[in-house]
Amino acid sequence: VRSETDGLLPQFDTNQPLVFFVNGKKVTDDGPDPECTLLVYLREKLRLCGTKLGCAEGGCGACTVMVSK
């Protein structure tokens, strides 16, 4: 049985570290969970509690984060 999204989503290699910057500081996660949301990662792993879970649908804007290059 194939899903409608088979082949449409990029493959995520959990053997590779996840490296990104938050508030100018480098963050490296050697064992990222591909099912972890950005909101959960920021709040639970990095202890940054400014982002909130409001409506759980993205409509209210409480979970908004700024992403830049």
What CATH number was assigned to the domain covering residues 1-69?
A: 3.10.20.30
pLDDT of residue 45: 93
pLDDT recorded at residue 15: 77
Residue carrying the six token digits 């639970």: 44
**Is pTM, for the whole model, over 0.75?**
no
Query: Distance between CA atoms of 37 and 22, rounded to whole angstroms?
Result: 15
Task: Convert the pLDDT of each residue in 16-52 to its tens digit.
Answer: 888 999 999 999 999 888 889 899 999 999 999 888 8
